[in-house]
Structure 1
């Protein structure tokens, strides 16, 4: 009986050891949403579990409305840092709220504070033996009168890329790939990737909704799919374990 108990314990420990953990940190475009059974808004981090096998555990720590500044100031990063362990992955995507120049609790200069905060996430993840991956912000559906998609993120995506290059961090340019996605749909059809509803079209928005930043479930699935496909293409040995646990 004792031998059986030991065997069961060893099997359980082995199964647990094979699990891979991903922490996602970022803003509302990535975050889980309340009442998902009713709420059409969906974060791309919310649907990530659909792209991995059962050996991956995802803790989505992205929060609506947060910038790198507020995520650190509210100790949300500290809460993640404390539980990181060797071999974990940290998906990092900020920018939308760092741009809010009228809000001193969230705004960051892309070349100073924003850059510094990204470096902090990278260095402190690595201190714990975790593997950071940087993502540029997803594009807004921002077409001009000529049907041209216009970027609204300024130099934040560039600074994310520069930090990734300098610190040799795996980088996915989600702004670029989401721009391609938006333009492939075009000005009108791309509304389906976001939150566009007439009054009483969906119960959650009885007064209707017109939101070109946040994602519908269709949009979230598309963005998460782009993120996963680009990670698969990255030539970085630190991602090998993660790639093996992605669904085909």
Structure 2
């Protein structure tokens, strides 16, 4: 029942902590601009503070990076451990208070809609979208409650948003690190349960449904199992690293942009990939990129976190060559430079640090992990990595 921050899910104290950590609904609004409200669980906001202090990040934290905040603001009201039932019963009323006509509300729930109905976290909804209900008494508290189907909780949220003049949208769940086939080439979809039920409710209610699960799953399949395990997830098969959260946020933005006639898309920033020129002797032939060899002598961590590797990655084409030249710049001393140090060795070890200058939490890996990341990215793009 305890989350990574030591907060018990079903006590008044934990809910008060959650309310302090999450924004007051509508508080980011600028003038008469609309607000995009995000409603979900730990895949959208990992940990109660949602600040990466356990190494995990939710995609909702990075959603604002895709919107023009001079025209619309994004509020992440998700909370780890919430099901459709517990979010509706405990947190939903606070969100509804801030909704004004013209606002948007994205709802992505279902990861936690299982388990017991009347004990422990007592967060399960009845599977499906029917009109079924169940009267229960919570064993630990004696509180009586009527439990509804997942679809009924979605319908109630949709009705509340519409009643306030807002525009609701349903998203399918982010993918897990789970694969259907023995060769690990097909990511397991949730299109027979919560994804299906969300799409059915959205169609019946006449609102948009975006299949976030499929958009990100197709990316995972392109990444390959090794990269997905090492880079997309952190500590388990459900919760994402910062990189994985950014991937899912980008998928959400892509889904919004691609949905026919969706007015929310007008607030998205242009999608432009920053690139970097390489060295080539033939305009039609492969390009050579040399990373890590410059006067500043960056470590692979600094090269990656500064965004320089992203520029190379975005430029790569099949057959290109990447020369990796970081061996002389290996800095494992945190005291000398906290923005570039790495853990020693080549293993999978990692540790979460709070950076003193920025106050931001960062996961720091080993020297070898960063080198493998670059190599995995090259392989994904069909480029050839070469260690120098």
Common topology (TM > 0.5): yes
Q: Which residue of 2 aligns with 1:23?
A: 37
Alignment partners' CA distance in 2, 1:65 and 1:102:
14
Give secondary structure in 2 for the equivalent of 1:29. Answer: coil
Q: Which of these residues, 189, 205, 212, is aligned with residue 167 of structure 1?
A: 205
Asked whether the 8 Å contact 1:96–1:153 carries over to 2, the reply is no
**1:54 Cα deviation from its structure 2 partner:** 2.1
* Residues 117, 125 of structure 1: alpha-carbon distance in 2 compared, 3 angstrom cutoff: same
Question: Is 1:247 matched up with 2:265?
Answer: no
Alignment partners' CA distance in 1, 2:209 and 2:39:
15
Gaps of 5+ in 1: 1-14, 196-208
**1:92 Cα deviation from its structure 2 partner:** 0.3
Question: Is 1:125 matched up with 2:161?
Answer: yes
In the superposition, the TM-score normalised over structure 2's length comes to 0.52
Alignment partners' CA distance in 2, 1:97 and 1:39:
20
Alignment partners' CA distance in 2, 1:223 and 1:187:
16
Q: Which of these residues, 68, 76, 80, is aligned with residue 60 of structure 1?
A: 76
In the superposition, the TM-score normalised over structure 1's length comes to 0.80
**1:231 Cα deviation from its structure 2 partner:** 0.8
Q: Which residue of 2 aligns with 1:107?
A: 124
Alignment partners' CA distance in 2, 1:35 and 1:158:
28
Larger RCO of the pair (alpha carbons < 8 Å, separation 6+): 1
* Residues 149, 229 of structure 1: alpha-carbon distance in 2 compared, 3 angstrom cutoff: closer
Q: Which residue of 1 aligns with 2:178?
A: 142
Gaps of 5+ in 2: 1-29, 131-148, 271-388
Q: Which residue of 2 aligns with 1:204?
A: none
Give secondary structure in 2 for the equivalent of 1:47. Answer: helix
Asked whether the 8 Å contact 1:32–1:45 carries over to 2, the reply is no
Asked whether the 8 Å contact 1:32–1:60 carries over to 2, the reply is no
Cα deviation per residue 1:28-51 (whole Å; 9 max; x = unaligned)? 001154373644211111111111
Alignment partners' CA distance in 2, 1:106 and 1:62:
15
Alignment partners' CA distance in 2, 1:186 and 1:20:
38
**1:20 Cα deviation from its structure 2 partner:** 2.0
Q: Which residue of 1 aligns with 2:51?
A: 36
Q: Which of these residues, 222, 230, 233, is aligned with residue 258 of structure 2?
A: 233
Task: Tell me how many residue pairs correspond in the alignment.
Answer: 214
Q: Which of these residues, 200, 218, 225, is aligned with residue 180 of structure 1?
A: 218
**1:101 Cα deviation from its structure 2 partner:** 2.8
* Residues 78, 181 of structure 1: alpha-carbon distance in 2 compared, 3 angstrom cutoff: same
Give secondary structure in 2 for the equivalent of 1:126. Answer: helix
Cα deviation per residue 1:136-167 (whole Å; 9 max; x = unaligned)? 11111112543143346751110100011111
Q: Which residue of 2 aligns with 1:224?
A: 249
* Residues 151, 78 of structure 1: alpha-carbon distance in 2 compared, 3 angstrom cutoff: same
Instruction: Report the RMSD for the aligned CA atoms in angstroms.
Output: 1.9
Determine which structure has more spread, i.e. the larger CA radius of gyration.
Answer: 2
